[in-house]
Amino acid sequence: MRMSKALIAILVFAISIPFPVNATEAPATFEITGSGYGHGVGLSQIGARSMALQGDTATTILNYYYKDVAIQAADDSKILRVNVGHLLSTARISTATPDALLHIYVGDIADTQDAVPLAVVPVKSALNFSVLGSTVVPSVVTGKQVMSLPRNRIFTVRWSGTRYLAGAEAVVSLRQSNTTARYRHGQMQFRAVKASTLGYRLEITNSVRLADEYLWGVSEVPSSWPAAALEAQAIASRTYAISKAGIYRSACDCDLYGEISDQKFLGYAKEMEKGWGKFWKAAVTNTAGLTLTQNNLPISAYFSSSTGGLTETALNAWGSERSYTQIVADPGSQDPKLNPNFYTWKRSVTQASVALAFALPDVVSLEVLSKNESGTVAMIRATSSTGVQKSLRGETFRSRTRIPSAYFDLVGVQNAVEPTPTPSP
Reported as a single tens digit per residue, the pLDDT across 288-300 is 999 999 999 999 9
Number of folded domains that form the chain: 2
Residue predicted with more confidence, 157 or 24: 157
Residue 215 has pLDDT above 80, yes or no: yes
* Co-location of 31 and 85 in the same domain: no
Query: Does the structure show a pLDDT above 80 at 355?
Result: yes
Quote the pLDDT of residue 419: 63
Distance from C-alpha of 263 to C-alpha of 30, rounded to nearest angstrom: 30
| Same domain, yes or no: 154 and 28 | no
Residues present in the chain in total? 425
254 and 122 share one domain: yes
- 124: pLDDT strictly greater than 60: yes
Whether residues 94 and 157 share a domain: the answer is yes
Tell me: do 113 and 205 sit in the same domain. Answer: yes
In a domain, residue 310? The reply is no
Asked whether the predicted pLDDT for residue 405 surpasses 60, the reply is yes
Q: Has residue 1 got a pLDDT over 50?
A: no
- Decide if 40 contacts 362 (C-beta within 8 A): no
Global confidence as pTM:
0.90
Counting residues of the chain whose pLDDT is more than 70, the rounded percentage is: 92
1 found inside a domain: no
Q: Are residues 83 and 207 in the same domain?
A: yes
Tell me which of 261, 293, 326 is where a domain ends.
261
Q: Is residue 328 part of a domain?
A: no
Count of CB atoms situated within 10 Å of the CB of 379: 18
Domain that holds residue 29: 19-35+344-410
Quick one: 99 and 26 in the same domain? Answer: no
Structural domain includes residue 104? yes
Does 20 have pLDDT greater than 60? no
Q: Does the pLDDT at position 138 exceed 90?
A: yes
> Does one domain contain both 31 and 105?
no
In this prediction, residues 112-126 reach a mean pLDDT of 94
199 domain-assigned: yes
Q: 288: which residues sit within 8 A by CB, 6+ positions away?
A: 76, 211
Residue at 286 is within a domain: no
The pLDDT value given to residue 196: 87
Domain end point (choices 235, 261, 287): 261
94 and 30 in a common domain: no
Range 346-354 average pLDDT: 98
Residue type, 322: R
Assign 3-class secondary structure to the chain: CCCCHHHHHHHHHHHHCCCCCCCCCCCCEEEEEECCEECCECEEHHHHHHHHHCCCCHHHHHHHHCCCCEEEECCCCCEEEEEEEEEECEEEEEECCCCCEEEEEECCCCCCCCCCCCEEEECCEEEEEEEECCEEEEEEEECCEEEECCCECEEEEEECCECCECCCCCCEEEEECCEEEEECCCEEEEEEEEECCCEEEEEEEEEEEHHHHHHHHECCCCCCCCHHHHHHHHHHHHHHHHHHCCCCECCCCECEECCCCCCCECCHHHHCCCCCHHHHHHHHHHCCCEEEEECCEECCCCEECECCCECECHHHHHCCCCCCCCCCECHHHHCCCCCCCCCCEEEEEEHHHHHHHHCCCCCCEEEEEEECCCCCEEEEEEECCCCCEEEEEHHHHHHHHCCCECCEEECCCCCCCCCCCCCCC
296 in a structural domain: no
Q: Are residues 30 and 83 in the same domain?
A: no
Residues 154 and 251 grouped into a single domain: yes
